[in-house]
Amino acid sequence: MAIRALRGATQLSADDFDEMREAVEELLGEMFGRNQISHADLISVIFTATPDLHCGFPATAARGLGLGDVPLLCAVEIEVASALPRVVRVLMHVETAKERAELVHVYRRGAEVLRIDLAQ
């Protein structure tokens, strides 16, 4: 087993906590499913949000999926004038037998433009 990092991001249409919860749950669920990982494989998850999101913490949505025992951290992205607005990014650390090249990074709801090279 190796420790690997998975990337993901999602974009919200508005600064709304219900939408954030839905989008984060969707993103994490797809990251788990596409990479065949489970709760037990998680080491930690770092969330960032663009400075225009004030409605809540992405980690709160993750705890709603039962990840309360996993170390979760939220931070604010640096403010860049040309940045895509209302984006939540995820950096998930997992234990996996997969090689780095086998990992599927997930970008949803318009965030695909952030990493066209990685988005599936």
Catalytic residue among 26, 30, 55, 115: 115
Catalytic residue among 22, 26, 30, 77: 77
Catalytic residue among 7, 21, 86, 108: 7
7 included as an active-site residue: yes
21 included as an active-site residue: no
Per-residue b/e over 90-118, b at no fewer than 16 CB within 10 Å?
Answer: bebbbebebeeeebbbbbbbbbbebeeee
107 included as an active-site residue: yes
End-to-end CA distance of the chain: 24
86 included as an active-site residue: no
Catalytic residue among 21, 86, 89, 108: 89
Burial of 119 (0-12, 13-18, 19+ CB in 10 A): middle
Alpha-carbon distance of 87 to 75, in angstroms, equals 12
Catalytic residue among 4, 21, 107, 108: 107
55 included as an active-site residue: no
Task: Kindly list the catalytic residues.
Answer: 7, 63, 74, 77, 89, 107, 115
